[in-house]
Structure 1
Amino acid sequence: MAEEFIGAGWAFPLRTDATGSIALVQGDRELVESIHLILATAPGERPMRPEFGCAIHDLAFAPADAATAGRIAYEVRVALERWEPRVTLQDVVVNFDEVDNGRLLIEILYSVRGTNDPRNLVFPFYMIPSEETAELPAQDGER
């Protein structure tokens, strides 16, 4: 039943299969690729559907702090509730992985609608570190 509900769709990134046809994915893989596609698309990026996507890209230059993490969690929740009706979100948690390198991990806890099967997905989000926190290369003779 859940497999019929999820359906099938084009693989992302777009590619061909062994027969030369457009590669398709189905089941769990379809949901994972759909969530990745939603989060990786900035609103305004698609000409025929400019509102599609997730506004986390507006935060690429924001400071890596708790306020930004909360805003990222909010934007992910809003985007997935709007664009992925096949899942029920349980929680969105943003963890600081490598703050100095600008990497945050977005953990999405969800279940497929109509099932009690909990799932999770971790989506890496890269921010541009500020100049004050970025390490400068060592000059000759410095360590």
Structure 2
Amino acid sequence: MHELLGHGLVIPFHRGARDFATADGERLVRACVQQILGTVGASDFTQGELPWRTEFGSLLHLLRHQQNDVALREMAKVYVRDALQRWEPRVRVTQLDAQRADDAAGGKLILRLRYDVVQRNVPGSQVLFADLEQTVTVTP
């Protein structure tokens, strides 16, 4: 089953026993989701973080320095769903919650997502891992 999902570098990069750490299966998918959501994608206001693929990533960075209210949380959900639908076809989001976590800096946005890892991004495709949960923190 792991060969269906591939094998690759773990993001954020860190050293393994001999070289950069790699993973496969569920761990690789989690790393890819984190990379997509943490990378600045191109928008009308920003160029995009990766010069060779400026569109890659999400628009979550547009929420920085904005009021952490209900509208911001709904926009975050849209940005997460759009980015994962476009850049990670192995993931089918089943649940996505956005909550404000108050702290001294004015509040962080906590995104909790549940997803299934599927063989292909088509209806009726085989589910390889079901109901995985991942948390992403954004500082608006």
Instruction: Report the TM-score range of the alignment, normalised by the length of the smaller protein.
Output: 0.7 to 0.9
Q: In the aligned structure 2, how far is the partner of 1:6 from the partner of 1:41? A: 21
> What's the counterpart of residue 122 of structure 2?
none
> What's the counterpart of residue 29 of structure 2?
31
> What's the counterpart of residue 95 of structure 1?
99
Q: Deviations over 1:76-131 (max 9, x none)?
A: 0000000011111112210111266321110111001122621111111111xxxx
Structure 2 spans left out of the alignment, 5+ residues: 42-47, 119-125
Say which one has the larger Rg.
Answer: 1
What percentage of residue pairs aligned between the two structures are identical? Answer: 30
> What's the counterpart of residue 130 of structure 1?
none
Give runs of aligned pairs for residues 78-93 of structure 1, distance below 5 A: 78-93=82-97
> What's the counterpart of residue 112 of structure 1?
117
1:117 partner SS: strand
> What's the counterpart of residue 73 of structure 2?
69
C-alpha RMSD over aligned residues: 1.5
* TM-score of the aligned structures, taking structure 1 as reference length: 0.81
Contact (CA 8 Å) 1:38, 1:79: kept in 2 or not?
yes
* TM-score of the aligned structures, taking structure 2 as reference length: 0.83
* One-letter amino acid of the structure 2 residue matched with residue 13 of structure 1: P
Contact (CA 8 Å) 1:14, 1:23: kept in 2 or not?
yes
**1:22, distance to aligned residue in structure 2 (A):** 2.8
> What's the counterpart of residue 48 of structure 1?
52
Q: In the aligned structure 2, how far is the partner of 1:61 from the partner of 1:15? A: 30
Structure 1 spans left out of the alignment, 5+ residues: 128-143
Give runs of aligned pairs for residues 11-22 of structure 1, distance below 5 A: 11-19=10-18, 21-22=19-20
- Moved segments of 4+, more than 6 Å: none
2:133 partner SS: strand
Contact (CA 8 Å) 1:64, 1:99: kept in 2 or not?
no
